[in-house]
Amino acid sequence: MSKNILFISAETFKQRTGASSAIDDKQLFPMIKVASDMNIQPTLGSTLYNRLLSGIDADNLNVYESALINDYITDAVIWYTMSMLPIGMGYQLFSKGFLQKTAEESNTPSRSDLELIAANYLSMAEFYKTRLIKYLQQNYILFYEYYNNSGALDVIFPERKGYTCPIYLGNSTPPNVYGLVSSYGGGVGVSKMAYYTAVGGETTFNVTALSSRTTIMATRSGLVKTITTSPTSDTGFIQINNALVTLPTGDVAVAGELFTFLYQ
The model's pLDDT over 221-259, given as tens digits with 9 standing for 90+, comes to 778 888 999 999 988 899 999 999 999 998 999 888 889
Collect all residues with Cβ–Cβ distance below 8 Å to 106 and sequence separation of at least 6: none
pLDDT-derived band at 92, boundaries 50, 70, 90: low
217 within 8 A of 240, measured Cβ to Cβ: no
Q: How far apart are CA 121 and CA 128, in angstroms?
A: 11
State the Cα–Cα distance between residues 240 and 238, nearest whole angstrom.
6
Out of 104-113, 175-184, 195-204, 236-245, least confident range: 175-184
Check residue 96 and give its pLDDT: 64
The DSSP H or E segment spanning 114 is helix 111-138
Residue 107 has pLDDT above 80, yes or no: no
Give the residue among 241, 245, 242 at the shortest CA–CA distance from 220: 245
First to last CA, the chain: 40
Give me the pLDDT at residue 219, please.
87
Question: pTM surpassing 0.75?
Answer: no
Report d(CA 66, CA 251) in Å as an integer.
Answer: 23
Torsion over CA: 9, 15, 18, 23 (sign)? positive
Q: What are the Cα distances from residue 112, in Å, to 3, 109, 117, 126, 168?
A: 35, 8, 9, 21, 22
Identify which of 42-51, 92-101, 104-113, 179-188 has the greatest average pLDDT: 42-51
187, 154 in Cβ contact below 8 A?
no
pLDDT bracket for residue 101 (50, 70, 90): low
- Tens-place pLDDT, residues 137-191: 888 888 888 877 766 667 788 876 666 655 545 544 444 333 333 333 444 456 7
Q: Could you report the per-residue pLDDT of 33-85, keeping only the tens digit for each? A: 999 999 999 999 999 999 999 999 999 999 999 999 999 999 999 999 999 88
Contacts (Cβ under 8 Å, ≥6 apart) of 263 = 191, 192, 193, 194, 209, 210, 213, 214, 215, 216
Select from 221, 218, 183 the least CA-distant residue to 229. 218
| Of 26 and 43, more confident | 43
64 or 215, greater pLDDT = 64
Candidate from 110-124, 185-199, 200-214, 239-253 with smallest mean pLDDT: 185-199
Residue 49 Cα to chain centre, angstroms: 10
- The amino acid that residue 161 corresponds to is K
What are the φ/ψ torsions at residue 108 (nearest 5 degrees)? Answer: -80, 125
What is the 8-class DSSP label of residue 42?
H
Q: Among residues 248, 197, 192, which one has the least CA distance to residue 221?
A: 197
Q: Give the integer Cα–Cα distance in Å for 224 and 128.
A: 21
**119, amino acid identity:** A
